[in-house]
């Protein structure tokens, strides 16, 4: 299956663009389950109908769509257009999708739903919890508005009630929902929105709780991982193969590597372990209750001058192995949750992709094929998670 984390068609109010985009992805969506959630380019608008709750960030990014085309054209397990959050069990994984464009502060309908949903997970059936949202809770970025007060009224443009800048949004999400992620031991969080690939440590309250350590898998079928290049941003000593051993907090991954131009504003935040400005997607495998793996499959560091012309051969640029005991990861060494200042042998593949539409079809068909992997040992259920943008 596919999880497409918002910024779907970039129609911005033009129905013809929706028609074209849906036609473009039909070959992929006709073959696998395709889940979506909303982002700023589907939901945000300065004014909503009187009978609907307004978006949290009232910019103009949806072109007045207010989430209607996305909800009507892209079915998902959502309860409704104004309750566009959902969860589903797929093999060993409990997948949770939130709407970062809607109120998620404590006491809000979305926050109360998330608390109930996470509390109901049976970890003996779905030992892994993966959460997906559009705007990131952890992001290495210089894009900041007010900075210290995420609930400060937006005076930076766009007509919104709340600051839409990366750092302000990250603070808002930490304050609103990060205690829930710690309490219910959410293993991974996938985010989009920012046009970059970033792998962050297992963090809480803006601080690394568990850092990755170098790892080199053995075996003749080990996938080839390209080494870090001199121009790669982020820590230069971070290897492309790492593992998290008994992580005690949520690992955060930003996959915004789409056709849209890269932001290139990472500065080296303390939680950022690896940062790449390359187009590509993520595959996530849950092998059993104790081991999972993610891979960032890059389409290559395409020069911006030729972004819309050609894509390099795909290659793996980052790999994470997660190792833990069969029981949940909470222990005496876990941080305290406070407001921030017989499991079946199966493999679930989550692919978080932000790529240009032309590349989406190329990559989607490639990803649809089953590939040999050194840790694979049984037939598996497949979930492919996608976020796309048009090439600009």
- For the stretch 267-280, pLDDT in tens is 788 899 888 888 88
Torsion angles phi and psi, residue 26, rounded to 5: -60, -40
Give 148 or 85, the one with higher predicted confidence: 85
- HSE of 210 in the Cβ direction (CA atoms, 13 Å)? 25
Question: Residue 217 has what pLDDT?
Answer: 57
> Which of 298, 295, 281, 278 lies closest to 352, judged by CA?
281
Is pLDDT of 128 > 50?
A: yes
How much is the average pLDDT of 360-379? 35
Quote the crossing angle between the two packed helices 109-119 and 166-183, to the nearest 10°: 40
Question: Residue 196 has what pLDDT?
Answer: 85
Question: Residue 226 has what pLDDT?
Answer: 44
Question: Residue 366 has what pLDDT?
Answer: 40
Question: Residue 42 has what pLDDT?
Answer: 85
Task: Judge whether 94 and 86 are in contact, CB under 8 Å.
Answer: no
Task: Judge whether 141 and 167 are in contact, CB under 8 Å.
Answer: yes
Is pLDDT of 114 > 90?
A: yes
Q: Cα–Cα distance between 139 and 356 in angstroms, integer?
A: 22
Query: 255: which residues sit within 8 A by CB, 6+ positions away?
Result: 190, 191, 192, 197, 280, 281, 282, 296, 352, 353, 354, 387
E strands in the chain: 2-5, 34-37, 86-90, 93-97, 128-132, 188-191, 197-204, 207-210, 213-214, 241-245, 250-255, 272-276, 279-286, 291-300, 315-323, 348-354
Question: Residue 292 has what pLDDT?
Answer: 93
pLDDT in tens, 161-177: 677 888 889 999 999 99
How much is the average pLDDT of 367-373? 36
Is pLDDT of 29 > 70?
A: yes
72: helix, coil or strand? Answer: helix
Question: Residue 202 has what pLDDT?
Answer: 96
Give 22 or 340, the one with higher predicted confidence: 22
How much is the average pLDDT of 261-268? 76
The share of the chain scoring above pLDDT 90, in percent, equals 30
Mean pLDDT is highest, among 24-28, 43-47, 205-209, 310-314, for 205-209
Is pLDDT of 33 > 60?
A: yes
Q: How sure is the predictor about 108, in pLDDT bands with cuts at 50, 70 and 90?
A: very high
Burial class (CB in 10 A: 0-12, 13-18, 19+), 71: buried
- HSE of 49 in the Cβ direction (CA atoms, 13 Å)? 8
Give 124 or 304, the one with higher predicted confidence: 124
Is pLDDT of 155 > 80?
A: no
pLDDT, the chain, mean: 75
How much is the average pLDDT of 260-271? 78
Give 380 or 119, the one with higher predicted confidence: 119
Is pLDDT of 154 > 70?
A: no
């Amino acid at each position: 299956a596919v999880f497409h984390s918002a910024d779907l068609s970039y129609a911005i109010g033009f129905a013809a663009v929706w028609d074209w985009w849906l036609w473009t992805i039909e070959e992929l969506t006709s073959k696998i389950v395709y889940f979506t959630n909303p982002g700023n380019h589907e939901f945000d608008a300065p004014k909503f109908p009187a009978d609907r709750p307004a978006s949290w960030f009232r910019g103009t990014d949806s072109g007045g769509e207010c989430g209607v085309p996305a909800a009507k054209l892209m079915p998902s397990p959502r309860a409704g257009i104004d309750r566009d959050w959902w969860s589903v069990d797929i093999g060993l994984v409990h997948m949770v999708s939130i709407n970062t464009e809607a109120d998620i502060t404590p006491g809000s309908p979305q926050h109360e739903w998330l608390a109930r949903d996470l509390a109901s997970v049976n970890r003996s059936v779905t030992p892994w919890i993966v959460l997906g949202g559009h705007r990131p809770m952890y992001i290495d970025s210089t894009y900041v508005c007010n900075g210290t007060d995420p609930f400060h009224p937006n005076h930076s443009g766009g007509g919104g009630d709340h600051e839409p800048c990366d750092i302000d949004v990250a603070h808002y999400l930490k304050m609103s929902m990060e205690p829930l992620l710690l309490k219910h031991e959410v293993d991974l969080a996938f985010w989009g929105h920012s046009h970059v690939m970033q792998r962050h440590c297992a963090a809480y309250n803006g601080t690394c709780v568990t850092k990755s350590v170098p790892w080199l898998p053995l075996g003749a079928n080990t996938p080839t991982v390209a080494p870090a290049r001199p121009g790669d941003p982020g820590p230069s000593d971070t290897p492309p193969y790492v593992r998290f051993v008994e992580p005690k907090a949520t690992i955060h991954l930003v996959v915004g590597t789409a056709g849209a131009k890269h932001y290139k504003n990472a500065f080296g935040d303390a939680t950022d372990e690896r940062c790449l400005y390359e187009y590509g997607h993520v595959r996530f495998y849950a092998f059993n209750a104790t081991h999972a793996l993610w891979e960032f499959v890059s389409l290559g560091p395409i020069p911006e001058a030729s972004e819309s012309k050609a894509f390099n051969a795909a290659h793996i640029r980052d790999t994470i192995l997660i190792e833990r005991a069969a029981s949940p990861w909470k222990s005496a060494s876990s941080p305290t949750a406070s407001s921030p200042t017989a499991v079946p042998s199966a493999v679930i593949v989550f692919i978080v992709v932000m790529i240009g539409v032309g590349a989406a079809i190329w990559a989607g068909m490639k990803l649809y094929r089953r590939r040999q992997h050194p840790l694979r040992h049984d037939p598996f259920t497949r979930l492919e998670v996608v976020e796309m943008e048009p090439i600009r």
